[in-house]
Structure 1
């Protein structure tokens, strides 16, 4: 059976009060429309057409890596009109088209597969996803015949007293036989108060032609649409719970899962322990056996196994196994920290490579540098990488010792096994095994305080 999909993504989203198209707002780090596309593709539907409208160029840019096609709905005249705009996508196809909405990101792969199977096995011309809810007020009711087939969908305001008692609601997602859908679209009209073309009217058209229509109930949370910032937060909460549950089931310990914020693309290996108030973003990969103490942010980084991170920020960088970071360290993009290294409190690393077993314990800035293995940096070291116009590189060899309060004025190189005396400003190459002293000679002026009358 040939399957394809349409995603309705042209809505204006006025209630979001945003210059960003509604479907491009993110849930757990990924745009809502891309979440829906990815779920559909995981369900093995690869021919996907996105109906775009407001912010069409931005939507195309955000989805360009997903290999989808687009149809333009330049005027928002209802869901039926949106599908009419995809007629070129559907023409000539035979099989099933599944229709989803780009602002309902909580639909799951399992539900998509179940919908397709239910539709095919029941030999239905249309199948509606529905939910059973305790309080259906405001939702369109799904009215079934005695044989469990769908008779019609009735909007809340049009329900009879008996129909108002029905608690099965329309989720706004469907499967259709393509040929029957196209024929039904030709019969749609906008003879209603909103002067719009409703996709739900297709159900009535199919039933008047004697066709079978099925309905598949699914959990209500999967049908939740996002039309406001409040609903966006609700969707984020549900998705975050799913993500965290998945990590825990895979062997990750979350001390307080309700206050741990892990985005959708993050990978975490087993036996890692994550404390609350951590934010882990992007395509971060965390190895096994790590401990992430509270109040850290990690984005688009690779963390090796058995790493300890405490109250620190790591962005677009790599940290080797058995390394400790923090507290209050800041590892900026394009940094590579080696194995068994120590990046301590109030240390900032920028676009630098730090070798294995190197210790940068506290109050130090390293920028645009290449640091060897087994080095030791004393407190207060600064790599002076910027001359006011250009950035310059510092190279430090293996096993170098950098004394406290040292300034390394780039471009400069410190050879392996060299020592630098505390308080030095280094502007020239330091040879292998040498001791460099770059500071003024101490002078003691005896009696100076009394002479100046500064005694207290």
Structure 2
């Protein structure tokens, strides 16, 4: 496997958590949720690791001070594309691939990320998106495919047409990119959308229009990519963990 860097997005405040703690430090499964992500990255030996912090950055950095990573700040928080842009000074000379992960998506398995990168590198793709069919895709970006089955773009829920809202295959947010092309594409995104944010997903349409190779790896288990952005989801995740017990150790 070629070298793989990781960008972990951990800047969010987590308003819906109703806590002063940064969202990624909310405990789940007996530890702050970002620790699950860091353990997975460590198992895979992805390096370098860049962690994008923002809200109460010092608290997040103090909690994970022992990890081998570079911290960068996102201020203000202006979307996922803007967040990833903050890592460019660290990765400017890096010519391998980069996987974008999220500090509040703690249950992604090492095996899944290994498969994502393996497909990406074997297919010589510019970007490879981790997707899943979601029974209720509300709030998630939809995967819009070309007639040949290749990915054309990702449309965010707020910007989707009625036809696109009917799509159940969603973007998990976890994407493997060729690093130089990622940062080149990020120079061409903007915040002209319903949310007024710079979407990382806009890079996919840029690649598609340029004729770049975009692939998707679909997983079966939505729990792996469950984002924990409110207390109800944390409680649901705890219940799932109890039911699954040592699920992370099961291939």
Is 1:106–1:235's contact at 8 Å kept on the other side of the alignment? no
In the other structure, the counterpart of 1:19 is 20
Residue 386 (structure 1) aligns with: none
**Which residue number in structure 2 is paired with residue 43 of structure 1?**
44
CA, structure 1 residues 234+32, in 2 after alignment: closer, same or farther (shift >3 Å)? same
- State the alpha-carbon separation in 2 of the partners of residues 32 and 70 from structure 1: 17
Instruction: Say if 1:103 and 1:195 are closer, same or farther in 2 by CA, change over 3 A.
Output: same
Contact 1:136 1:167 in 2 (8 A): yes
Question: Shift in Å at residue 215 of structure 1?
Answer: 1.0
Deviation at 1:28, TM superposition (A): 1.5
Separation in 2 of the partners of 1:53 and 1:174? 21
Q: Which residue of 1 aligns with 2:5?
A: 4
Q: CA deviation at 1:161?
A: 4.0
Distance between the aligned counterparts of 1:33 and 1:244, measured in 2? 18
Is 1:27–1:239's contact at 8 Å kept on the other side of the alignment?
A: no
Match of 2:58 in 1: 57
Contact 1:4 1:45 in 2 (8 A): yes
Map of 1:123-138 to 2, 5 A cutoff?
123-138=124-139
- Offset of 1:244 from its aligned partner? 4.3
2:152 aligns with: 151
Aligned to 1:91: 92
- Indicate how the Cα distance of structure 1 residues 141 and 245 shifts in structure 2: closer, same or farther if over 3 A, else same: closer
Mapping for residues 163-202 of structure 1, pairs under 5 Å: 163-202=164-203
Structure-2 separation of matches of 1:164 and 1:228: 23
Question: What's the CA shift string for 1:70-117, capped at 9, x where partnerless?
Answer: 111121000000011111121011010000110011111111111110
Measure the CA separation in 1 of the matches of 2:78 and 2:247: 40
> C-alpha displacement at 1:163, in angstroms?
2.6
1:106-161 Cα offsets, whole Å, 9 max, x none, are: 11111111111011111110111111123323322101123332111122343344
Structure 2 CA distance for aligned equivalents of residues 66 and 118 of structure 1: 28
Answering whether residue 216 of structure 2 is matched by residue 215 of structure 1, we say yes
Which residue matches 2:68? 67
Greater strand percent: which structure? 1
How many angstroms apart in 2 are the aligned matches of 1:110 and 1:238? 19
Residue 64 of structure 1 aligns to a residue whose secondary structure is coil
Residue 4 of structure 2 contacts residue 97 of structure 2 at CA under 8 Å; is this kept in 1?
yes
What CA deviation, in whole Å up to 9, does each residue of 1:334-392 have, x standing for no partner? Answer: xxxxxxxxxxxxxxxxxxxxxxxxxxxxxxxxxxxxxxxxxxxxxxxxxxxxxxxxxxx
Q: Is the 1:106–1:239 contact (alpha carbons within 8 Å) kept by the matching residues of 2?
A: no
Higher helix proportion, which one? 2
**How many residues of Structure 1 are paired with residues of Structure 2 in the alignment?**
248
Name which one, 1 or 2, has greater alpha-carbon Rg.
1
Runs (5+) with no aligned partner, structure 2: none
2:231 corresponds to? 229
Cα separation, partners in 2 of 1:5 and 1:164, compared to 1, 3 Å: same
- Residues 19, 159 of structure 1: alpha-carbon distance in 2 compared, 3 angstrom cutoff: closer
Q: Deviations over 1:178-217 (max 9, x none)?
A: 0110110111111223321110111111111110111111
> Counterpart of 1:121?
122
Measured after TM superposition, the shift of residue 62 of structure 1 is 0.9
Q: How does 1:97-108 map to 2 (within 5 A)?
A: 97-108=98-109
Is the 8 Å Cα contact of residues 109 and 248 (structure 2) preserved in structure 1? no
**What secondary structure does 1:235 align onto?**
helix
TM-score by length of 2: 0.93
TM-aligned CA distance change 1:153 to 1:245, over 3 Å: closer
Partner of 1:239: 241
SS for the counterpart of 1:66 is: coil
Which consecutive unaligned segments of at least 5 residues does structure 1 have? 250-456
Q: Distance in 1 between matches of 2:47 and 2:97?
A: 13
SS at match of 1:49: strand
Decide whether the 8 Å contact of 1:100 with 1:173 is kept in 2. yes
Q: Give the structure 2 partner of residue 29 of structure 1.
A: 30
The whole-number CA distance in structure 2 between the counterparts of 1:52 and 1:164 is 32
The corresponding residue for 1:79 is 80
SS at match of 2:65: helix
